[in-house]
Amino acid sequence: MANTGIFATTTEVSRKAGANASATSNTEAYINDFMTQVESEINAATRYNWSDAYTGLDADVKGILKAVSSNLAAIYVINYDLSGFTSRVEAEDMINVLRDAALRGISILRDIKTQTFINGA
C-alpha cells in the first residue's frame, strides 16, 4: 500500500505520534484513512480546497498544510489506543501539543489576507 494522503506522508505522521503509539493505528492503512479525513477537515475549516490546488502551491504553504495535517492525523493515531504510553497524561500532553499547533496552522490558512498572499506567491 502506498501513501494516499496529499499533504503529509505516513512517516511524518508516525514521527509525531511518537514511539509509544499503537502498532495497529500507526500503520500506513490507518494513517491513509486518517489523512483523508483531516485533509477534508482542513479544506472545510478554511473554506478553500487546498487538495485541488496543492500542486501549484508555494513550498511554504505546503509546509503549513503538511504540519497541520500530520498533527491532526497523529492525534487520531495516538487516540486510537492510549495503552502503550507511559501514562494517560503523556498521551494527553502529546495530543494537546499537536492540537495547539494544528489550530494555529488552520488559523493562518483561514485568514483571507494569508490566502491572498498565498495565492499570489
Band of residue 2 on the pLDDT scale cut at 50, 70, 90: low
Within 10 angstroms of residue 24's Cβ, the number of other Cβ atoms is 12
70 compared with 115, residue with greater pLDDT: 70
Please tell me the predicted confidence (pLDDT) of residue 5.
83
pTM listed for this prediction: 0.91
Side chain identity at 13, as an amino acid letter? V
CA distance 11 to 49: 24
118 compared with 110, residue with greater pLDDT: 110
Stated as kind and residue range, the H or E segment containing 115 is helix 112-120
CA distance 92 to 87: 9
Rg of the chain taking only CA atoms, in angstroms: 14
**Phi, psi at 116, each rounded to 5°:** -65, -45
